[in-house]
Chains A and B, each alone.
Chain A
Amino acid sequence: MNIIGLTIKQTHEGLIKKEFSAVEIAKDFLDKIKKDDKKINAFLTVTEDLALAQAKAVDEKISKGEEIDILAGVPCSLKDVFMVEGIKCTAGSKILENYIAPYDATVVKKLKDRGAVILGKNNTDEFTMGSSGENSAFGPTKNPLDLSRVAGGSSSGPAAAVAGDMAVFALGTDTGGSIRQPASFCGIVGLKPTYGAVSRYGEIAYASSLDQAGTMTKTVEDCQIVFDAIKGKDQLDSTSVESKISNYQFSISNLRIGIPREYFAKGIDGEVEKIIRNAIKKYEKMGAKIEEVSLPHAEYALPCYYIIAPSEASANLARYDGIKFGHLADKAKNLLDVYLQSREEGFGPEVRRRIMLGTYVLSAGYYDAYYVRAQKVRTLIKKDFEKVFEKCDALFAPVSPFPAFKLGEKIDDPLTMYLSDIFTISINLAGLPALSLPCGKTEKGLPVGLQIIGKHFEEEKILNIAKIYV
């Protein structure tokens, strides 16, 4: 029986029926990674010993006739910003090249407790800053569907690992689109939960008021299983929240779907628009009520983000000074030189760009003009959503204005690269949950994702809406 390519439930059933063992599964995936990842570069670290030990523990349980969890023995991988005790955690940066995580992130602990098998750590744009994976200090990840193209970013490695059948599921993070956009580019399901729905403890921070851990899976069903496993209030993350809503039931004829007209404006690729409109039509045929709505401040989301996120990043990344954390420049003469040189040698260009941008907009004389103004615009963006959600259950939009682009195509122009996230960023500013659902391919065979956006803590609803798509 072919193990590679199975969903979580299929893997689970195979284990229970003893069609294969957890160790056999782990070995198959480890072999697949060894064979395929040289050309894709989805993994920065492969944790073979850990994976085999975890798999063996699951097999022992099965042989004793004990009941096993649905995730037990299922191979997964983690974006290299989630700490796994005793394993290297680089955040895609040279400054953390040799950093060994001293403890497990809460999401990692939850997966380990459920018996999921950790195959390794996935590539990412440095400190998750990027939209193509090309800002990784360890080389870009290539799209498994077309090796001349990017896998998207910043969760480039998790997306390519799942799309390339090198893991059954993966965890990523999303600060401005970093789960949804690579999921869309690689043709998999990516969920960015509500801000606070999943603990950030042990996740290396980029912009703390926007960062959110989430799932990257082959199917919506898998997405639900993994999300249920990692969500919930965590004592170690004071911003985490227990979701109150569950078991959402609906009938399709009562479903009201809003289509924000600003998301179909200039700049969207013709083929992408057609595929998204077709997907919307399918829901209409099933009986959903489709209504055009307006998010008047949508065009301000991107500039708003590029003040708020770099501001938070400039503070969060101050800890990488060669002393508290990170690479230490050894030729420095005094303390200031230690800081200047360690950070110069350790950080790549995009990270330095955002740290400087954040430092500038927070500096004396500019704080009100940039930062406070952006926070006020953030309020208006949030209110736009509150208003449309008074009459809609969910919003449908494209994830990205275009499909996966060529490696090197946008890397020299930061602003053009930033436009990749124009349809995803406002969701982070408002803290909403949103899912990328594969809904078609372009003539060149490049996947396109439909973005389903819900109200705070209504992941269940967007998952159920996604589930009925055929």
Chain B
Amino acid sequence: MLTEEEVKHIAKLARLGLTEKEVEKYQKDLSDILGYVEKLKEVNIEGVEPTSHSVLLENITRKDEALKFEKKLIEGHLKVKSVF
């Protein structure tokens, strides 16, 4: 079972705000799912290569640029709330 602190830590890493009640709910839900995926430990994976894509692919790249930006820009910069 994940502890309350673990759930709060994961939520912060994931940048998700949670209420106290939700912490309890996700503690149970996440623990159940993590318990279920433990099943993979039964599989012998020795010498097996990992698969990240199912179909053979080659890298193709292009210039990355924003097409349209909804938020207000100030002299080409994006204004956000202060970090500190």
Report A's interface with B, CB cutoff 8 A. Answer: 100, 102-103, 194-196, 209, 235-236, 238-239, 241, 297, 299-300, 303-304, 306-307, 314, 318, 321, 323, 332-341, 343-345, 347, 352-353, 355-360, 363, 370, 372-380, 382, 414-415, 428-432, 456
- Name 22 A/B residue pairs within 8 A (Cβ), A-sorted: A209-B53, A239-B53, A300-B43, A304-B40, A307-B40, A334-B81, A334-B82, A335-B82, A336-B83, A338-B80, A343-B14, A344-B16, A352-B16, A358-B14, A370-B37, A373-B40, A373-B41, A374-B40, A378-B50, A382-B51, A415-B33, A431-B55
Give the docked Cα–Cα distance between A456 and B40 (Å).
26
Whether B16 pairs with A376 at a CB distance below 8 angstroms is: no
| B interface list, Cβ under 8 A from A | 7, 10-18, 26, 29-30, 32-34, 36-43, 45, 48-55, 57, 59-62, 67-68, 70-71, 78, 80-84
In the complex, which residues of chain A have a beta carbon less than 8 angstroms from the beta carbon of B17? 340-341, 343-345
Chain A residues near B14: list those with CB within 8 A. Answer: 314, 343, 355-356, 358-359
A375 close to B52 (CB less than 8 A)? yes
With a cutoff of 8 Å between Cβ atoms, the chain B residues found around residue A314 in the complex are 14
Contact A343 B15 (CB under 8 A): yes
Task: Provide the residues of chain B in CB contact with A239, threshold 8 Å.
Answer: 53, 55, 57
Min CB–CB distance B6 → chain A (angstroms): 8
Contact flag A414-B83 (CB < 8 Å), given A306-B37, A353-B26, A356-B10: no
Given the complex, which residues of A lie within 8 Å of B33, measured CB to CB? 306, 353, 357, 414-415
The SS class assigned to the A binding surface is helix
* Residue in B closest to A326 when the chains form the complex, CB atoms: B70
Whether A343 contacts B16 by the Cβ 8 Å rule is yes
- Expressed in whole angstroms, the Cα–Cα distance for A195 and B51 within the complex equals 14
Residues of B within 8 A of A414 (CB): 29, 32-33
Residues of A within 8 A of B37 (CB): 303, 306-307, 370, 374
A209 x B54 contact (CB < 8 A): yes
Check A377–B59 contact: CB distance below 8 A: no
